[in-house]
Amino acid sequence: MAFRIGSGIDFHRLVEGRDLWIGGVKVPHHKGALGHSDADVLLHAICDALLGALSLGDIGVHFPDTDPALKNIDSKILLQKTMDLIRAEGYHVVNIDSTLCLQEPKIKSYVPSMQDVISGIAGVPLNAVSVKATTTERMGFAGREEGLVAYATVLLQKD
Ligand code: MG
């Protein structure tokens, strides 16, 4: 098939005493995301979208949170390894679209850095990586700042 589409979603709790990594960028905030890795919700959603596009399972299959070697791992490495799998299947990324749901902090000023990181690893131009954000109008766990969510959609093309 010439084109494949994939979607991904990820959730992490927000807690005191952790760094907040989003899209490969450390965002200053009084809370950070809890997880086995650096808990980068956006990169995880993108990994799942990439894997989903080629029916390669999910991030938990490839990078289990029970693996001591992955403790606090930089999720940019997970995205790089995921891209290796995509390339091994003979596909490349056309574009990535994503949305973050979180109440705080405002991430707009960090989006260019996130696009830079993601486009570099995915091997696409900056304008092929979209990172959007919304609050939930203070509703639900994201609105109460208990956690955050990322959604990603990717389009792959056969080399
Ligand atoms: Mg995750």
Give pLDDT tens digits for 120-148: 999 999 999 999 999 999 999 999 999 99
Give 159 Cα–ligand 1 centroid separation in angstroms. 29
User: Do 102 and 39 contact (CB within 8 A), yes or no?
Assistant: no
Residue 143 CA to ligand 1 centre (angstroms):
19
Position 1 confidence tier, pLDDT thresholds 50, 70, 90: confident
Band the pLDDT of 12: cuts 50, 70, 90. very high
1 CA → ligand 1 middle, Å: 29
CA of 65 to the centre of ligand 1 (A): 9
Let me know: does 26 contact 41? Beta carbons within 8 Å: no
pLDDT tens column, 62-78: 999 899 989 999 999 99
Please give the model's pTM, rounded to 2 decimal places: 0.97
| CATH number of the 3-158 domain | 3.30.1330.50
Question: Residue 11 — very low, low, confident or very high, per pLDDT cuts 50/70/90?
Answer: very high
User: For the chain, what is the mean pLDDT?
Assistant: 97
Cβ-contact 137, 70 below 8 angstroms:
no
Cα angle vertex 51, ends 8, 42, to 5°? 40
Q: Nearest 10 degrees: CA dihedral of 103, 20, 7, 59?
A: -140
What pLDDT was estimated at residue 137? 97
Q: What is the mean pLDDT of residues 93-116?
A: 98
Q: Where are the domains of the chain?
A: 3-158
Interval between CA 62 and ligand 1 midpoint (Å): 12
